[in-house]
Structure 1
Amino acid sequence: MADEKLAKLREAVAGLSQISDNEKSGFISLVARYLSGEEEHVEWAKIHTPTDEVVVPYDTLEAPPEDLEETKKLLNKLAVLKLNGGLGTTMGCTGPKSVIEVRNGFTFLDLIVIQIESLNKKYGSNVPLLLMNSFNTHEDTLKIVEKYTNSNIEVHTFNQSQYPRVVADEFLPWPSKGKTCKDGWYPPGHGDIFPSLMNSGKLDLLLSQGKEYVFIANSDNLGAIVDMKILNHLIHKQNEYCMEVTPKTLADVKGGTLISYEDKVQLLEIAQVPDAHVNEFKSIEKFKIFNTNNLWVNLKAIKRLVEADALKMEIIPNPKEVDGVKVLQLETAAGAAIRFFDHAIGINVPRSRFLPVKATSDLQLVQSDLYTLVDGFVTRNPARTNPSNPSIELGPEFKKVGCFLGRFKSIPSIVELDTLKVSGDVWFGSSITLKGKVTITAQPGVKLEIPDGAVIENKDINGPEDL
């Protein structure tokens, strides 16, 4: 039955003119693995907590050389790659998420470029920036990067694969059933980075320039900056792959974690966990770290493994309903590739290297006085003594970036804030200070305005009378 399905699918895919032969064979190979049911189930009893040799504590890393010339040599072995395939739809934006303004009028992409520019300027190095786009973000990104043509960094863009969504009940590619617009296709997750880097010609280009490592990170993670200590460690120890992990808090219970399994370091995601053990996986007692998706990978090793077709990452089936049609997307994650590389390690990094902006509540954190911006680097305000960031919950009125910005005359001071919960039609004046635990609730049909200069500490505000 599976063979029959695959044969029909293969025939239909052969007739799709919109994608390359590489994309067709990559897609068929993914579907064949999915249909064969080769999913490896993790045997719970074989899971071990990794030792400090496998997940290295950041503070045990040697300091990198202080010599400018030595630092330049290290940096010239590095390329930075940002995953830029995502749209800002969850935050109400239509283009690539990386062009949302984060701070002082700068977008994610501006900050990334400024950071690498300052490195290249300081050390006279040549660290290039690569952006992996999807077909959703490609055209917009090409226009956007034009503004960096006079900067001192090479900016390269390439596209990840474009695969057809599969109509679930017939198991045929949707584009061959007439859905030829963008909705008929999907980008197959960031695990696709390795073949796409190779197929685009960018991998060979980097190798010809003497690059040895690529630092991969999500474009919306403001903490994912080049770290000389990590680069120095990997080059000296010849680790082919490094995943940055950081201590888990209760907000990160769903994040993947690193385990030692049959003498290999491996990523364990919640989807692989047997139902009986999900609570154990989510607890922060046994699994204390999670994957930040900041990855450092040796370029020659990528070439070797892609050429050998050895990167068989766990398949993530992603069923969706689009225009009333049930479709299936098969995806993979870059972090799951860790077990295929030699001398792969994790490094347990400070939480400051994980500062993603997934929602407007995260945007409020990074736009506030909790952070300052210097040379494109977002740095935490030392005046905040609590190592954790405030927990912020904003109601649906704040979900879209435009609405969020419209409701604040200026972002309140939150250096001494623990938690903030806002619901209803709430509007903030300028120069407001929030401290401790604050809840602000506008009653249905009532517009609640917080006046300029208000200082609110450990209070529940349900109307103007509480101010």
Structure 2
Amino acid sequence: MELGTLDQISESEKKGFVSLVQRYLSDKGEQIKWEKIQPPTNKDVVPYEDLEPAPSDPAATKALLDKLVVLKLNGGLGTTMGCTGPKSVIEVRDGQTFLDLIVQQLEVLNRKYGSNVPLVLLNSFNTDEDTEQILKKYKDSSLDIITFKQSQYPRIVSEDVMPWPSKGKTDKDGWYPPGHGDVFPALVNSKVLDKLVAQGKEYVFIANADNLGATVDLKILNHLVKHKNQYCMEVTPKTLADVKGGTLISYEGRVQLLEIAQVPEEHVGEFKSIDKFKIFNTNNLWVNLKAINRLVLEGALQMEIIPNPKEVSGVKVLQLETAAGAAIRFFDNAIGINVPRSRFLPVKATSDLLLVQSDLYTVKEGSMIRNPARKSPHNPIIDLGPEFKKVGSFMERFKAIPSIVYLESLKVVGDVWFGRDITLKGKVVIDAKADKIVIPDSTVLENKLVTPGPSYADI
């Protein structure tokens, strides 16, 4: 394709972009044959409880950790939650940000074992400058923090399939980061991978910066090193809230990620079933660094393309993206591990913020510890209305976060305000469509429907 002038990006980025567009236009992607899909075996997806214990000897643990790098996907902005700058600097608990908690976790780990697990941040052009400024607060930390940038690709004008910047849109709106599948070529092209391998690192643990459950797990690392697995995806049991998430299947003798976009329309209901497809992808990935290098240099990581249509400044554009989880089928001896739900604690919206700020959790050494008083393995289902969508308005509407250890579900509709020392139990619905509702201090609501007026109805 004719690129025009795209001087803002490197030759490797231009090459990656052209390859992606050519693959998209040729549309030679193999379609999943539904009848060939097999459920994964315990060899494909290893139950977490079947893993051997991590080494008890501190020297053996240090040797294990010295093979590891922790990489957080830090390309996202906090705009969905009404914040500016990288999402990783939103305060999530006790005045601490995602980044504060991540740094604390790794400092504690390295101090305990005398290891040197570095933190690597994959920024996008949207978050890079801000992140570099924010990292100055850790200048006295013992933690080695490395940053590198995700590729910058031109948005494509849908009308004529031309790069938007070559038609004059050269500001930020003309570009996009092409999904977290880009982590692999970006690691190689930035030379960060070479640097890490030279330090004796063998595995990278990749996770979203907003997943507070994605901590270093020695049992998983030990298993991968011992069994020489080049790639591992953490999956966890699916609930009705996760029915659209990708799942692992066995397909033609290899373990493979199946996303809802690949599913024939007549089988979508089957895909969403939690009886047939029992697990979903947490996007916690463990990958061998030398295998990444080899596959990128061979051009072998041909992950499924995700077309993402958008309208920007009145122009219909297309972003072609890839997902890191889809790379599993290209690695040798790739597996899934079926991990506890506690390793998947993402904060995508203020409803998730309510969970992690509540008495359901405490923070210990940067990690979220679940309240043992909560007997259900599942967290409450929280549904907050649009009045709570932005972090600022969310914080204004709660004088203090209610106690929710015994809550099953909460639905809030309309103009609702919460006092202090409130306890929510069972199923609670607060419906303020008709008028403003203020929940007074020290109120206990258990299986109640709250509407404007002095009394509460039972559910």
Q: Smaller-chain TM-score range?
A: over 0.9
Letter matched to residue 445 of structure 2? I
**Residue-by-residue CA offset, 1:193-230 (whole Å, 9 max, x unaligned):** 00100111110010000000000000000000000000
Q: Is the 8 A contact 2:419 2:442 kept in 1?
A: yes
Match of 1:81 among 53, 65, 71: 71
Q: How far has the Cα of 1:177 moved from its partner?
A: 1.1
Residue equivalent to 1:26 = 16
Distance 2:156 2:175 in 1: 9
Task: Say if 2:259 is the partner of 1:264.
Answer: no
Letter matched to residue 402 of structure 1? G
Match of 1:217 among 189, 198, 207: 207
What is the TM-score with the length of structure 1 in the denominator? Answer: 0.97
Task: Say if 2:57 is the partner of 1:46.
Answer: no
Q: Is the 8 A contact 2:402 2:420 kept in 1?
A: yes
Q: How far has the Cα of 1:443 moved from its partner?
A: 3.6
Give SS of 1:447's match: strand
Match of 2:180 among 190, 199, 206: 190
Match of 1:454 among 435, 443, 447: 443
Residue equivalent to 1:129 = 119
Letter matched to residue 325 of structure 1? V
Letter matched to residue 341 of structure 2? R
Q: 1:371-450, aligned counterparts within 5 Å?
A: 371-444=361-434, 446-450=435-439
Letter matched to residue 449 of structure 2? D
Letter matched to residue 422 of structure 2? I
Q: Is the 8 A contact 2:436 2:452 kept in 1?
A: no
Task: Say if 2:291 is the partner of 1:285.
Answer: no
Q: 1:138-149, aligned counterparts within 5 Å?
A: 138-149=128-139
Distance 1:84 1:53 in 2: 32
Distance 1:149 1:305 in 2: 35
Letter matched to residue 257 of structure 2? L
Q: 1:324-335, aligned counterparts within 5 Å?
A: 324-335=314-325
Match of 2:236 among 241, 246, 271: 246
**Residue-by-residue CA offset, 1:415-449 (whole Å, 9 max, x unaligned):** 010111111111101110001111111244x3211
Residue equivalent to 1:169 = 159
Q: How far has the Cα of 1:249 moved from its partner?
A: 0.4
Q: How far has the Cα of 1:323 moved from its partner?
A: 1.1
Q: How far has the Cα of 1:269 moved from its partner?
A: 0.2
Distance 1:65 1:435 in 2: 41
Give SS of 1:425's match: strand
Q: How far has the Cα of 1:464 moved from its partner?
A: 3.8
Letter matched to residue 79 of structure 2? T
Distance 1:356 1:439 in 2: 24
Q: How far has the Cα of 1:56 moved from its partner?
A: 0.2
Letter matched to residue 241 of structure 2? A
Residue equivalent to 2:299 = 309
CA RMSD of aligned residues (A): 0.8
Distance 1:452 1:315 in 2: 51
Match of 1:318 among 287, 304, 308: 308
Distance 1:32 1:443, change over 3 A: closer
Match of 2:222 among 232, 241, 244: 232
Residue equivalent to 1:358 = 348
Distance 2:136 2:19 in 1: 36
**Residue-by-residue CA offset, 1:126-183 (whole Å, 9 max, x unaligned):** 0000000000001100001111111111001110000000001111111111111111
Letter matched to residue 454 of structure 1? T
Distance 2:455 2:78 in 1: 36
Q: How far has the Cα of 1:39 moved from its partner?
A: 1.5
Residue equivalent to 1:3 = none
Give SS of 2:362's match: strand
Give SS of 2:454's match: helix
Letter matched to residue 451 of structure 1? P
How many pairs align?
456
Match of 1:91 among 75, 81, 99: 81
Letter matched to residue 462 of structure 1? T
Match of 1:255 among 245, 269, 280: 245
Give SS of 1:403's match: helix
Letter matched to residue 267 of structure 1? L
Give SS of 1:327's match: strand
